[in-house]
Amino acid sequence: MNIRRLITLGGMLVLAVVLAGHMSTAVGESAPADVIAGEGCTSILVGKDASTDGSVMTTHTCDCGTCDWTWRHVPAADHKPGSTRKVYHISQYKTWPPSEGLKWDLYKNDFTGLEIPQVAHTYAYHHGMFGYMNEKQVSIGESTIGCQRKMQNPTPAAKLDLSMLTLLGVERAATAREAIQIMGSLAEKHGYGFHDDGEMLAVADPNEAWIFEICPVGPLWTPESGKPGAVWAAQRVPDDHVSVCPNESRIGEIDLANKDFFMASPNVVSLAVDMGYYDPQGGKPFSFKRAYSPVEGSAASTNGRIQRLWRFFDLVAPSGKFKPETPNMDLPFSVKPDKKISILDVMTMTRDRSYGTPFDPVQGIRGGPFKNPNYYRGTRVIDHGLAEYSTITQSRAGLPDAIGGIVWIAFGSQDTSCYMPLYAGMTEIPKSFMVGDHWTFSRDSVRWAFDYTDFHVQVAYSEAIKDIQAAQAKYETELVNRLPEIDAEALAHYKKKPAKAAEFLTAFALNNATTVTNAWWKLGDDLLVKYNRLYLYDAEKRGFSRGQPAIPDWWKRAARAFDILMEPDKK
Amino acid sequence: MMIHRRISLSFCAAAVLGLAVLIAGQALPKAGLPILTTSAGQSTDVTTLNIVLDEAAIAYDYCDVPTPEMVADGVGLGGRESGPGFHVESTTDPDKHPAGTPYKAVIFAIGASLKGMGASGLTLDSEEARLKKVIDLCKKNKIFVMAVHIGGESKRGPAGSDNERMIDAVAPFADAIIVTKDSNKDGRFTKIAEARKIPLTEVEYALGLVDIMKQVFQ
């Protein structure tokens, strides 16, 4: 390497530092693979006294990238004594071409052979990859946490996958506690695993939010063994606290004497002892996460790969001065937020990209001239552009369940999408929510409306995202502000006749979904025109001279520096 | 259901079952140590296989994607270590089987996982080609080949699917096939075993493999 190139390289490094404004040594290429439990979903929980409106909230960013995104509504049903409920294997990841049919019809071809006694009445609910909200306002969010490798049970002896468990939970439970007990006991009896291993569910109702964590017990389990076919624990988030699960087990020490805050399977400690994951003579209390799903490292030590836990606590409680160097296992289960959290705050959190932190994905030249956070994915942020959809559930006391329960859905990447409400009392969901897949473009599918717009944002991200935010303000923020008015109208209908409220809410939400979907198709068209060929076309002025999105000077200098760096050595 | 139909069905079931027993009844073969375990298709079923061997107290080397050269290097796989997309483990007793001791058996856990193959940098075609080369080496060096399928009906898939291609790549060339009953509901392994005269053993659960492994390797 010649002197000129060395100088240039040094100059580039200095330039990068200056441009970024700050450069932490924590930012690097990637973390060692063995400390990463998963790269999937993030789930946030908000207790009723931690929210501005008293609602209990859960979230699920359904991060996959190649999974099914379709939704269904399942109506309530009464069942005759002696009837049974078939149990199916449901893979979170398996998809089918639209020509073969839809997931929520085809999964029934994979019958496990197990039929369990049906209950007298099953509740109505809305579901996507998981059961999210039932007519009693029992709601669910999810995040994969992984487990010790020897605990995995991919054998057919395990009849219950996570998706199936959540469907059974929302079918049968009137409270969060009931849902946990139902899912836990079914998994113990019939075996848990097959397609899934360590998993966390955020389970809530209008009064409580719980973190429920479940793991298989290894592939040699049989139902005839008489032992539980799953191990699980659940811990309640204090009412004035918030918590999060970013693909890491959150439940540490458990106090089963404190029934208001803890539940667990009977083998919760004994299995860890049997499998060698906990030594009762070791002088340390039993910890669920350390035994079954340990994750080593911190946000800093993994160069941001596991920074979501720290980031969340830093976002909601900056006064806590949480440090990115703190090992994740030592971060708290939950915190009291510095200020109460609104539904709009939660929407913003699901869109978080860790801007301005040591793990900023667009610092330096990482995001290119238009600061696109999708170019450099070294940091695993909450909004990683992987979501099939994201959900925010609100369970609201003081309202009839049909009106109080809302699951907000944003299809595609959160930053360019728009949250739309589905009420617990709705009797149908939009048809466009029920179709589509990643490999076949369809104007009938809501998801493609959002992907279409998202695609056109990538061209000049820092500019186009402003157009998106303006649309979000119009179709999302304004709707949130109108909620009290909608509640009041629904309540008036409900007092006359509950079915009328269901009709009103269904019509309202279907109409809103159509309005938003059409707006996003048009937004995609508008962005295509506006940023066409990386110029700026003003559709109103229709002027001869078109502008161009401003290419920052630092980018031009970085490009020149790169040219020099790549010059061949002179002999 | 009418009684004579019940009898006919019972007879058919007994006939099919009898055939399976007859094939299994070729007597479980014996094989020697040391063993290499590996995956055909990179599903997590190979972890189950390793846990079965742990439970049976049978030592083994494990490699997720061994090449013929690695297998030929014998115990210790030529000193190769785990890295991105490549995993090795060993419980083989070096006093009994020092590094370089030729393997006497290779056990394949059949199960296709696109996620697993992707993590190992493999495609279905390259995995198939790799398996063929490894099996060719085993045949040439008279290494005992055992094919295991424990994923069940749900992970089988239709003809020509990823999993079925992995079965075709390994099972017909095995010296013994062990499957869970759920994996052989359509009699696919029975047909392969009959056609190739390979001893086939069915077990109810993965736990049943523990005794089978003890019988074969001890």
CB-based burial of residue A138 (10 Å sphere; 0-12 exposed, 13-18 middle, 19+ buried)? buried
The string of pLDDT tens digits covering residues A432-456 is: 999 999 999 999 999 999 999 999 9
CA A321/CA A308 separation, integer angstroms = 15
**pLDDT beneath 50, residues of chain A:** 1, 13-37
Question: CB–CB of B151 and A155 under 8 A?
Answer: yes
Q: How many CA atoms lie within 13 A of B133 on its CB side?
A: 14
B47 touches chain A (CB under 8 A): yes
Collapsed DSSP state (helix, strand, coil) of residue A60 = strand
pLDDT at B22: 36
Residue A482's contacts (CB-CB under 8 Å, 6 or more residues apart) are none
Task: Enter the DSSP assignment of B102.
Answer: P
Average pLDDT, chain B: 87
pTM of the model: 0.90
Which of B7-22 are b and which e, b meaning 16 or more Cβ less than 10 Å from the residue's Cβ? eeeeeeeeeeeebbee
Q: What ipTM does this complex have?
A: 0.82
| Higher local confidence (pLDDT), A167 or B20 | A167
Q: Please state the rounded mean pLDDT for residues B183-191.
A: 94
Structure confidence at residue A287 (pLDDT): 98
In tens, the pLDDT along A72-83 reads 999 999 999 999
Which of A275, A274, A301, A272 has its CA nearest to residue A284? A272
Q: Is B115 part of the contact surface with chain A (CB cutoff 8 Å)?
A: yes
> How many Cα atoms are found within 13 Å in the side-chain-facing hemisphere of A177?
8
Residue B19, pLDDT > 90, answer no
Residue B153 has what pLDDT? 85
Smallest CA–CA distance, residue B51 to chain A, in Å, is 7
Picking from A362-376, A439-453, B14-28, B142-156, which range would have the lowest pLDDT averaged per residue? B14-28
Of A106, A35, A31, A102, nearest to A69 by C-alpha is A102
pLDDT value of position B33 = 97
* Chain B residue whose CA is closest to A111: B154
Q: Is B215 on the interface with A (CB under 8 A)?
A: no
Name residue A284's amino acid. Answer: K
For an interface test with A, the pick among B207, B209, B211, B212 (most A C-beta atoms closer than 10 Å) comes out as B207
Cross-chain CB nearest to B44 (options A89, A152, A220): A152
A154 touches chain B (CB under 8 A): yes
Please provide the DSSP assignment of A444-457 as one string: T-HHHHHHHHHHHH
Q: Do A152 and B207 touch (CB under 8 A)?
A: no
Q: Which residues of A257-269 are buried (b: 16+ CB within 10 A; e: fewer)?
A: eeeebbbbbebbb
